[in-house]
A = this chain, B = another copy of it.
Amino acid sequence: MGKPTVHDIAEEAGVSLATVDRVLNERPGVRTMTAQRVHSAIDKLGYVRDVHAANLARGRQYRFAFVLPEGQSQFLKALREAIDEAGVGLRLERVALDTIEVPLNDSVGMIRGLEALQDQGIDGLAIMANETPVVRDMIAHMKESGIAVVTLVTDQPNAERDHFVGIDNVAAGRTAGVLMGRFLGGRYGRVMVVVNSTHARDMVQRRLGFDAVINEQFPNLHTLPSLEGHDEQERTATVIAQALANQDNIVGLYCAGAGTRGVTQVIAEQGLAERIVVIGHELTIHARQALKDGLLDVVITQNVGHLVRSATRVLRAKCDGRDIIASQERIRIEIVLRENLP
């Protein structure tokens, strides 16, 4: 006999298909005794349900929405593309992916956007947003109405999200730190650090990890206070150029946030590629080119495809009341050099 099916369970337990189904899906209206018989049959026969057949019968569609901040950064663009791409493949799996963009620091706009989603009858939400009370409350609200929620890229540890999909940013900062130190091979000097904003949680964490490693392992290096680039190329370029003019003996530059284009622009203009070790984040098309051109030495990155697939896997598991396989959902901190450019 092949794999046991509901029919086998029904026969073994001496009940009908409908009852087996009720037990399987933990729906009410089954006497404890009967349920027990079904459970024994399941155990005895080693039954494991065919999810695809179940979804087919159920006509079930999972509707998930990705909430991203508005913005034109290459990372966001790549993320949006990854969502669209995954969406195509997932149609066959009966999951529909939507993306909505909410203004970054406009709570009203955000609330409105999320409420619209709720009305649309969404099953799950992956949200990438700064940590604010408004977002925290919205997440609580969503969870209450039975919507699964994961945070994406930046965590909201104080919110009741089901899971965080993204990298460990302290470890990412440490990784940047050790590469910076080792690539500099004992040279003495100062290291500049650029972040989007000194308030953003992920920036704080990366900076923390970076400094910890430099302080522990590389006494020859001195890290300077964070410069703020605010996700903008121009602004990033300006603050860096300024700092370069005011400080001598800069040997390294760690760009912990977006705005890599601003960084490479200055490096190229001032011909610093050979003299300064530059480490950035996120393998955007721009960063790829910069690696090839030698304007960037290392890129620390997370695979946007993995982010999206992990988020949908987790949301689906939550919707089905299944546990996730934690090891499979851990997002890697990838190190990319010109040599191992994928």
Contact = CB atoms under 8 A, between A and B. Distances in A.
A342 interface: yes
Q: Which of A48, A91, A179 has the most CB of B within 10 A?
A: A179
Contact of A335 (B174, B187, B213, B335): B335
Contacts of A51: 92
A270 interface: no
B337 A179 contact: yes
A332 interface: yes
Interface in A316-342: 328, 330, 332-340, 342
Contact of A56 (B53, B184, B339): B53
A178 B56 contact: no
Contact of A178 (B177, B328, B337): B337
A332 B335 contact: no
A303 to B, nearest CB: 8
A92 B50 contact: yes
Nearest to A92: B51
A28 interface: no
Interface in A268-318: 305
Interface in A194-248: 213
Number of copies: 2
A48 B91 contact: yes
Contact of A340 (B183, B328, B333): B333
Nearest to A49: B92
Contact of A182 (B56, B92, B182): B182
A100 interface: no
A339 B213 contact: yes
A187 B186 CA distance: 10
Contacts of A334: 332, 334-335, 340
A342 B174 CA distance: 13
Contacts of A53: 52, 56
A171 interface: yes
Contact of A183 (B185, B333, B336, B342): B185
A132 interface: no
A273 to B, nearest CB: 14
Nearest to A209: B339
Contact of A185 (B92, B175, B185, B332): B185
A129 B55 CA distance: 40
A172 interface: yes
A338 B338 CA distance: 21
Interface in A82-136: 91-93
Contacts of A179: 337
Interface of A: 3, 48, 50-53, 55-56, 91-93, 171-172, 174-175, 177-179, 182-187, 213, 305, 328, 330, 332-340, 342
16 contacts: A50-B56, A52-B53, A52-B56, A52-B93, A56-B56, A171-B340, A172-B340, A182-B185, A183-B183, A183-B185, A184-B185, A330-B342, A333-B340, A333-B342, A334-B334, A334-B335
- Closest 9 pairs (CB-CB, A-B): A185-B185, A52-B52, A333-B340, A335-B335, A175-B339, A174-B339, A175-B340, A178-B339, A182-B183
